């Protein structure tokens, strides 16, 4: 059979060990994300994921990575 990708336990990490890191980053009022996107929508995604209503794990990690990118590369240009 053909090769298949290997996925990490991202959903589990988001609900446990990354939960506080994601919250602190996504709720930071100085976040680059808040300049690019609606903070209420970001917070709703986080809360809905943590409550189990939806699985937005991959989206939350993507948002976290975008914020980290902004802090590293955009802050350097200021």
Distance (Å, rounded) from C-alpha 57 to C-alpha 69?
A: 18
Predicted local confidence at residue 2, as pLDDT: 87
- Chain centroid offset of residue 21 CA: 9
Overall average pLDDT of the 1-30 stretch: 92
Binned at pLDDT 50, 70 and 90, residue 77 comes out as: low
Predicted local confidence at residue 74, as pLDDT: 86
Predicted local confidence at residue 69, as pLDDT: 94
In terms of Cβ atoms closer than 10 Å to its own Cβ (0-12, 13-18, 19+), residue 46 is buried
Binned at pLDDT 50, 70 and 90, residue 66 comes out as: very high
Own/partner pairs, 51-54, CB within 8 angstroms, 24+ separation: none
Predicted local confidence at residue 1, as pLDDT: 81
């Amino acid at each position: 059979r053909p090769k298949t990708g290997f996925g990490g336990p991202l959903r589990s990490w988001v609900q446990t060990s990354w939960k506080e890191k994601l919250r602190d980053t996504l709720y930071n009022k100085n976040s680059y994300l808040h300049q690019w996107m609606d903070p209420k929508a970001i917070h709703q995604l986080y809360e809905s994921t943590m409550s189990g209503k939806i699985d937005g794990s991959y989206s939350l990690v993507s948002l976290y990575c975008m914020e980290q990118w902004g802090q590293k590369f955009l802050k350097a240009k200021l």
